[in-house]
Amino acid sequence: MATATLSSKFQISIPKEVRDEQHWSAGQEFVFIPKGKGVLLMPVPTLEDLKGMARGANPDRYRDRDDRF
């Protein structure tokens, strides 16, 4: 298990083994999601990552603007 230390400037360096396993690179943007006493660190997806995500979805039962107040 990799560990890191919070610096006096509140920065953390992500260990190389974690960066390599997750294919993270310098300049990539992340979001911090609070989870109990911890935090979930997730990369913000690019538009290219989201492309085709809804392919094959059935829109028949989706809400539309007519059912809003």
pLDDT of res. 24? 94
Degrees, nearest 5: CA angle 13-7-41: 45
Residues 6+ apart with CB under 8 A from 39: 32, 33
> What pTM does this model have?
0.64
Q: Over its length of 69 residues, how does the chain's per-residue pLDDT go in tens digits?
A: 889 999 999 999 999 999 999 999 999 999 999 999 999 999 999 888 888 888 888 877 777 767 666
